[in-house]
Homo-oligomer: A and B are copies of this chain.
Amino acid sequence: MLYLIGLGLGSEKDITVRGLEAIKTCARVYLEAYTSILMNADKESLEQFYGCEVTLADRELVESNADVILEGADTHNIAFLVVGDPYGATTHTDLHIRARELNIPVQVIHNASIMNAVGACGLQLYNYGQTVSLVFFTDNWRPDSFYDKIIQNRKLGLHTLVLLDIKVKEQSIENLARGRKIYEPPRYMDIATAASQILEVIENRGQGQLLSPLTPGIAISRLGSDSQTIYADSLKNLSEYDSGEPLHSLVIPGRMHELELDFLVQFCSDKEQFKSLASADDSVLQQRQS
């Protein structure tokens, strides 16, 4: 049996009781270590908590050597641990498909992920449109298709969850070209970088008011950990906001219901100022909808 087990968001104790029981039956335990990180745990603390060895699975192992992970899973149990929920990344779907091809039964143990825990900022999940991803801009690669998706959502009055880039165990272009397995230090996009990149695209596109420096944004930092913070302000102010340690996500609200706004304003430094920002934004969105 292959167990795909979600670890949730913060610490080793965010695993479910069922997930923990499953791990204890497993001959080998892998931790997927390149699409996300557990903020308050590492390999050692997990090993101590589970009482067994944990093998870090990098992109190469999962995407090119899945059969190594699955070896023997027809006769004993193997656990593959994923931060958040197991279906957060296509990679894990791949592993699931490969297991089925080998006639290995698969059981999934779900957990919270950013995709549902983002509800913590008070905007209702069913008022979100499609989720977008924002990657680190480089000198010659500044993809901006996320902009069109946010605009599409906002035209419908919907909120947008913006997932921020994580670079773990990435090679520089030079090292990749030369086949040298030397990896760059991990990088996690912070709120200021995200907001700045969005402002750059707004400036380039210059397509009116549907997104502007005064559009509200919600900085969600270390969601589900003890040091979780949520902070709402204009994109312009967020581009200078110190969001602290990773991980971060950003929400661009669409039209907010009164209850949503009531909940959100607890996360503002100046409630009245944010309310007038939100009200101005709502007028823009209302005009576009009608």
- A residues with a Cβ closer than 8 A to B are 6, 8-9, 11-18, 20-21, 84-88, 90, 93-94, 96-97, 100, 108, 110-113, 115-117, 119-120, 122, 124-133, 152, 156, 158, 163, 224, 259, 262-263, 266
Contacts and interface: CB of A to CB of B under 8 A. Distances in A.
Nearest to A159: B130
A113 to B, nearest CB: 5
Given A9-B110, A90-B259, A96-B263, 18 more contacts: A8-B16, A14-B16, A14-B110, A15-B17, A16-B16, A85-B112, A85-B119, A87-B116, A87-B125, A88-B119, A93-B122, A93-B259, A110-B112, A110-B224, A112-B116, A115-B115, A129-B129, A130-B156
Given A13-B21, A18-B13, A131-B126, A266 B108 contact: no
A271 to B, nearest CB: 13
Nearest to A113: B116
Closest 9 CB pairs of A and B: A87-B119, A110-B112, A13-B18, A126-B131, A116-B116, A115-B116, A13-B17, A110-B117, A113-B116
Contacts of A100: 266
B126 A116 contact: no
